[in-house]
């Protein structure tokens, strides 16, 4: 059913390229997990699908797990060393782009025991010269948090952009088969959909198929009523679930700058006296006293941390090869992630999960706002309207060419006020038919100086060749 929901709107079959391809883009995600500490956040996005096209070129990308900045850090050089073996397990996206020779480019990827990048997702991308781009990402799951506090399964995301049945269209869907929260709330068959056709009348919707709260089934015709009932139960454990609204911008049906959104559901862990009475003693009494001294020793050397970790200082200091130092140096990324994750469950931060979410944009190909025709051959002679009247001839009074806009130079012809009495100006330089004046002297002086420098260089090279000695 989830696969059918993800595929129901797409008509990615043969499309006739009779319409204007224009441009388009679309995006869908399965869910996102993000801990926050102050303004810092690290997170992972599961089941991404992206598609877009520009004129005759289409592109698509599918990725089962996007680790964002954390993945980039793991795969980059750290402490002057190449990436560790952990980089082999950071998932990469698969991509497709319309071939320059035309035709179709497509590829697929799925779980494999020999695939280090496998994250359990099935990915597929396609890009043709219709143009049409499509990305599909599915994940059966389930994904469970610690103690099964939150479970997510049956995730599918799809995005497409291009000509569909001869008309421009950009659209995306996201489906989640089931979400369970603390065994108290179960939401099934969640569906996000956005469509941006050529007529510009974009639409987006979000629906919940079934919902069970505290063991009782509730009507799902109005998703906001479902979420209100769920929050009455979840508030007792410091968890809230909110639908698309300005609280978690953009709200449902939001269309800023021509991009149509259907936003995710947000599951947030918020302060709660009942839960904090259980978790705070664990964090302050167990995690922090043991974790932070260890993290400090890894980052700054064990000689600078407290017992019992400072007993490792001699091992670190007596390592002649420096291998231990290099290994410890590369722990900065895991430590940063752990710091933010721990803080997200305290007053220093917060933790949220975004379920679903889609957006799309489409429109005609933008016109080039730069007109270079004005600079074509012959354009200067035809642009006489930009010159002052009489500026192209000789001033009969002064006997020199009239220079428009130069103070002191007489300009022949009537002025804009109708007066023939123009202000006389002094030419910037004498204009004669003979080579004379101070500029000629300066030019000759510069040429003479260049000649002297060239001769001095030649003499120096000759002296060097005469005095240099060579050894076989």
- Contacts for 41 with CB less than 8 Å, ≥ 6 apart: 34, 35, 340
- Of residues 138 and 433, more confidence is placed in 138
Q: Distance (Å, rounded) from C-alpha 310 to C-alpha 121?
A: 43
Residue 338 lies in a domain: yes
Instruction: Kindly state the average pLDDT of the residues 214-226.
Output: 92
Q: Are residues 228 and 84 in the same domain?
A: yes
Confidence of residue 181 (pLDDT cuts 50, 70, 90): very high
Task: Return the H-helix or E-strand segment holding 454.
Answer: helix 438-467
Task: Indicate the burial class of 204 (C-beta count within 10 angstroms; 0-12, 13-18, 19 or more).
Answer: buried
Does the pLDDT at position 222 exceed 70?
Answer: yes
Residue 29 lies in a domain: yes
Instruction: Kindly state the average pLDDT of the residues 117-124.
Output: 80
Residue 430 lies in a domain: no
Instruction: Kindly state the average pLDDT of the residues 140-166.
Output: 88
Q: Please report the pLDDT score of residue 324 as a whole number.
A: 62
Q: Distance (Å, rounded) from C-alpha 134 to C-alpha 401?
A: 67
Q: Are residues 151 and 210 in the same domain?
A: yes
Q: Are residues 36 and 135 in the same domain?
A: yes
CB 6 within 8 A of CB 29: no
Angle between the N-to-C axes of helices 332-344 and 68-75, in degrees from 0 to 180, rounded to the nearest 10? 160
369 vs 221, 246, 366, 386, 438, CA distance in Å? 48, 35, 9, 22, 46
Residue labelled with tokens 């179709």 = 104
Backbone torsions φ then ψ of 136, nearest 5 degrees: -130, 135
Written as six digits, the tokens of 346 are 């305290």
Which of residues 297, 331, 363 is at a domain's end? 363
Closest CA to 152 of 190, 98, 117: 190
Q: Please report the pLDDT score of residue 272 as a whole number.
A: 61
Does the pLDDT at position 96 exceed 70?
Answer: yes
Q: Which domain holds residue 231?
A: 2-266+356-363
Q: Please report the pLDDT score of residue 395 as a whole number.
A: 39
Does the pLDDT at position 398 exceed 60?
Answer: no
Q: Please report the pLDDT score of residue 102 as a whole number.
A: 93
Q: Please report the pLDDT score of residue 416 as a whole number.
A: 40
Q: Where are the beta strands (DSSP E) in 182-329?
A: 185-197, 203-213, 216-217, 239-242, 260-262, 265-269
Record the pTM: 0.65
- pLDDT tens per residue, range 364-393: 987 766 765 555 444 444 443 333 343 333
- Contacts for 412 with CB less than 8 Å, ≥ 6 apart: 390, 393, 394, 395, 396, 397, 402, 422
- Of residues 234 and 112, more confidence is placed in 234
Q: Are residues 118 and 209 in the same domain?
A: yes
Backbone torsions φ then ψ of 309, nearest 5 degrees: -70, -25
- Of residues 452 and 3, more confidence is placed in 452
Q: Please report the pLDDT score of residue 404 as a whole number.
A: 38
For the chain, give the percent of residues with pLDDT over 90: 31
Instruction: Kindly state the average pLDDT of the residues 133-139.
Output: 95
Q: Are residues 219 and 286 in the same domain?
A: no
Which of residues 295, 310, 342 is at a domain's end? 342
Q: Are residues 299 and 247 in the same domain?
A: no
- pLDDT tens per residue, range 75-89: 777 676 777 777 777
Q: Are residues 174 and 123 in the same domain?
A: yes
Domain count, the chain: 2
Instruction: Kindly state the average pLDDT of the residues 196-222.
Output: 93
Written as six digits, the tokens of 422 are 């123009």
Least confident of 4-8, 38-42, 59-63, 251-255: 4-8
Residue 374 lies in a domain: no
What are the helix and strand counts (H, E) for the chain? Answer: 10, 19
CB 160 within 8 A of CB 184: no
**Beta-bridge partners for 362:** 24
Q: Please report the pLDDT score of residue 394 as a whole number.
A: 37
- Report the mean per-residue pLDDT for the chain: 74
Q: Are residues 229 and 112 in the same domain?
A: yes
CB 66 within 8 A of CB 93: yes
DSSP code for 402: -
CB 172 within 8 A of CB 159: yes
Residue 237 lies in a domain: yes
Q: Distance (Å, rounded) from C-alpha 176 to C-alpha 191?
A: 7
Q: How many CB atoms lie within 10 A of CB 33?
A: 18
Q: Are residues 193 and 218 in the same domain?
A: yes
Does the pLDDT at position 264 exceed 80?
Answer: yes
Long-range contacts from 137-145, C-beta under 8 angstroms, 24+ separation: 137/30, 137/47, 137/48, 137/49, 137/62, 137/63, 137/64, 138/2, 138/3, 138/6, 138/47, 139/30, 139/46, 139/47, 139/64, 141/177, 142/178, 143/46
Which of residues 303, 331, 363 is at a domain's end? 363
Q: Are residues 102 and 236 in the same domain?
A: yes
Does the pLDDT at position 175 exceed 90?
Answer: yes
Written as six digits, the tokens of 273 are 């006296």
Residue labelled with tokens 């420096």 = 322
Q: Are residues 225 and 295 in the same domain?
A: no
Q: Are residues 259 and 323 in the same domain?
A: no
State yes or no: cis peptide before 276, omega within 30 of 0.
no
Instruction: Kindly state the average pLDDT of the residues 351-374.
Output: 81
Least confident of 18-22, 146-150, 207-211, 419-423: 419-423
Q: Please report the pLDDT score of residue 283 as a whole number.
A: 66
Q: Distance (Å, rounded) from C-alpha 332 to C-alpha 313?
A: 18
Least confident of 37-41, 112-116, 337-341, 361-365: 112-116
């Amino acid at each position: 059913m989830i696969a059918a929901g993800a595929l129901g709107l797409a008509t990615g079959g043969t499309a006739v390229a009779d319409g204007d391809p224009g441009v388009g883009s679309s995006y869908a995600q399965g869910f996102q997990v993000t801990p926050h500490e102050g303004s810092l956040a690290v997170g992972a996005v599961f089941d991404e699908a992206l598609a877009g096209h520009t004129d005759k070129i289409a592109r698509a990308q599918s990725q089962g797990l996007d680790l964002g900045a954390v993945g980039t850090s793991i795969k980059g050089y750290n402490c002057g060393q190449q990436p560790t073996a952990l980089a082999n397990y950071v998932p990469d996206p698969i991509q497709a782009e319309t071939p320059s020779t035309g035709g179709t480019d497509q590829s697929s990827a799925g779980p494999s025991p020999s695939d280090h990048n496998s994250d359990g997702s099935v990915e597929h991308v396609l890009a043709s010269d219709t143009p049409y781009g499509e990305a599909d990402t599915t994940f059966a799951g389930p994904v469970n948090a610690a103690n099964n506090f939150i479970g997510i399964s049956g995730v599918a995301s799809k995005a497409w952009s291009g000509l569909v049945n001869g008309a421009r269209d950009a659209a995306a869907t996201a489906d989640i088969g089931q979400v369970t929260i603390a065994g108290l709330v179960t939401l099934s068959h969640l569906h996000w959909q956005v469509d941006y056709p050529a007529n510009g009348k974009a639409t987006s919707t979000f629906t919940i198929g079934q919902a069970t709260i505290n063991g009782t089934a509730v009507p799902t015709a109005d998703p906001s009523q479902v979420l209100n009932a769920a929050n009455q139960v979840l508030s007792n454990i410091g968890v809230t679930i909110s639908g698309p609204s300005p609280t978690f911008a953009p709200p449902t049906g939001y269309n800023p700058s021509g991009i149509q959104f259907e936003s995710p559901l947000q599951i947030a862990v918020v302060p709660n006296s009942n839960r904090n009475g259980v978790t705070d003693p664990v964090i302050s009494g167990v995690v922090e006293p043991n974790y932070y001294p260890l993290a400090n020793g890894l980052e700054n050397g064990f000689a600078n941390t407290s017992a019992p970790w400072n007993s490792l200082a001699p091992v670190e200091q007596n390592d002649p090869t420096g291998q231990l130092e290099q290994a410890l140096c590369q722990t900065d990324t895991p430590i940063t992630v752990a710091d933010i994750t721990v803080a997200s469950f305290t007053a220093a931060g917060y933790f949220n999960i975004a379920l679903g979410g889609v957006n799309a944009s489409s429109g005609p190909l933008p016109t080039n706002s730069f007109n270079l025709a004005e600079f074509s051959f012959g354009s200067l002679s035809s642009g006489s309207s930009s010159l002052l009247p009489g500026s192209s001839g000789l001033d009969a009074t002064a006997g020199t060419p009239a220079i428009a806009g130069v103070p002191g130079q007489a300009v022949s012809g009537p002025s804009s006020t109708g007066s023939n009495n123009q202000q006389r100006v002094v030419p910037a330089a004498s204009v004669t038919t003979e080579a004379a004046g101070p500029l000629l002297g300066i030019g000759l002086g510069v040429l003479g100086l260049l000649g002297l420098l060239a001769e001095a260089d030649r003499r120096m090279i000759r002296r060097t060749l005469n005095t240099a000695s060579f050894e076989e």
